[in-house]
Amino acid sequence: MGGLSDNAKGVILAVASSAFIGSSFILKKKGLKRGGISGIRAGVGGFSYLLEPLWWAGMITMIIGEIANFVAYIYAPAVLVTPLGALSIIVSACLAHFLLKERIQKMGIVGCVSCIVGSVVIVIHAPQEETPSSVQDIWTLATQPAFLVYVAASLSAVLALVLHFEPRYGQTNILVYLGICSLMGSLTVVSIKAIGIAIKLSLAGISQIAYPQTWFFVTVATICVITQLIYLNKALDTFNAALVSPVYYVMFTTLTIIASVIMFKDWSGQNSGSIASEICGFITVLSGTIILHVTREQEPPPPVGTITWFISGDSIKNPEDEPLITPRRVDEYYEP
């Protein structure tokens, strides 16, 4: 990729990343289902999925995708890299259709096409990014008042979702788990981009390892990634995989673009026409994900409190179908 521009390198890496991440959703979903059969489901706090090879295969696939995504952020701005995650929606929806039997409707295909068209528009009008000269320059961007307000608002929202909304609505409203993932994800992206720039500068001979700001960004990224994984697992275990992917994409991309525009000032220097085109492209992608959302079949909730047992070794019946004790009247046994 030596002769390509930085934006082109970022696009190639982002597309490859989306393919891996989209596949990982399905592998992890199958692993979570198997783990839920043999132990406690992740959606209610269980960790039996850690014993499932399929879940680990999905995890490895996701790590490969995230590494490609990480490198993509080094070369291209977040407003270009992040929306290309739309491809992961298409990959996961198609694989879910064939492997998980989660049917995709004809309008879902229209949604997929809308995601692709919107992503192409964003790529065409994406800004060229100037690389900061040191991690201290990135720290200056991270401590500007506007971005500090965004960080404070995001952390406050995460605390409210975890402490108040998750116990009450986590199992019924997909926005609770994915809201936590997306808010933490936006902070993950800006931290990872800072780390990536530090690595790029270090490889160019300008070491950034000695700066405490570098390790601060590493710590923030680690905490945010772990939090994302925990709540993404809960979302995947509780809701339809082809529903989780597009909703997560919409929320994560929106918040990441907002965070990146505030911190890195991605739109500074662009004319109003290019900015408007990027916004229209993003709205097109959002429309596609909404179409996917409303046309997907809902996954039935797991049974709660159901009592079953085997009869004659080959069938399962409920108490209503085959009571263990047949009630009789007292006078049937009493002989005067």
Residue 314: predicted pLDDT? 44
Residue 320: predicted pLDDT? 46
Q: What is the pLDDT of residues 106-130, one digit of tens each?
A: 888 888 888 888 888 988 888 877 7
CB atoms within 10 A of CB 21: 26
> Which DSSP state fits 163?
I
Residue 333: predicted pLDDT? 47
What does the DSSP assignment read for 73-95? HHHS-HHHHGGGGHHHHHHHHHH
Is the pTM for the entire model greater than 0.75? no
Q: How many angstroms separate the CA atoms of 77 and 73, rounded?
A: 6
CB atoms within 10 A of CB 165: 17
> What is the token pair recorded at 85?
């995650």
Rounded to 10 deg, the angle between the 212-238 and 241-264 helix axes is 160
Residue 187: predicted pLDDT? 95
Q: How many angstroms separate the CA atoms of 310 and 18, rounded?
A: 45
Which residues on adjacent β-strands are paired with residue 311? 315
Q: What is the pLDDT of residues 191-212, one digit of tens each?
A: 998 998 899 888 888 888 889 9
Flag whether pLDDT at 231 surpasses 60. yes
- Cα 244 to Cα 51, 82, 145, 234, distances in angstroms: 23, 17, 33, 10
Give 282's pLDDT tier (boundaries 50, 70, 90). confident
Give 228's pLDDT tier (boundaries 50, 70, 90). very high
End-to-end CA distance of the chain: 99
Amino acid sitting at position 261 = V
Burial 174-212 (b: 16+ CB within 10 A, else e): bebbbbbbbbbbbbbbbbbbbbbbbbebeeeeeebeebe
